[in-house]
């Protein structure tokens, strides 16, 4: 896995069950069948993790909310 440039953490941790809710895990498996993939998980200190998805063409991003919904209009900035 790619490492975060600032902290050296993996962008997608090996232990996804520790970071995703059951609803997020279920939706992730469903949305992967449409070509979407988990890009990274932001892990801010003292806050809930933010799960970032990317479309198969890399042009669209989404946030996988705690309840399993996919927010296709997130107010986030992603650097390359």
* pLDDT tens by residue, 16-62: 888 899 999 999 999 999 999 999 988 888 998 999 999 999 899 99
Domain count, the chain: 1
78 within some domain: no
Which of 59, 21, 22, 68 lies closest to 39 in space, CA to CA?
59
1 within some domain: no
3-class SS at 16?
helix
33 within some domain: yes
Between residues 22 and 14, the one the model is more confident about? 22
32 within some domain: yes
Containing structural domain, residue 65? 16-71
9 within some domain: no
pLDDT confidence bin for 3, thresholds 50/70/90: low
| CA pair distance 58, 55, nearest whole angstrom | 5
35 within some domain: yes
| Model confidence, pTM | 0.79
């Amino acid at each position: 896995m790619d490492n975060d440039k600032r902290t050296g953490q993996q962008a997608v941790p090996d232990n996804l069950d520790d970071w995703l809710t059951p609803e997020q895990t279920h939706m992730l498996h469903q949305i992967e069948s449409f070509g979407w993939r988990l890009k990274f998980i932001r892990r801010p200190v003292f806050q809930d993790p933010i799960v970032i998805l990317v479309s198969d063409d890399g042009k669209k991003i989404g946030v996988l909310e705690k309840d399993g919904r996919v927010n296709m209009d997130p107010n986030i900035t992603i650097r390359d």
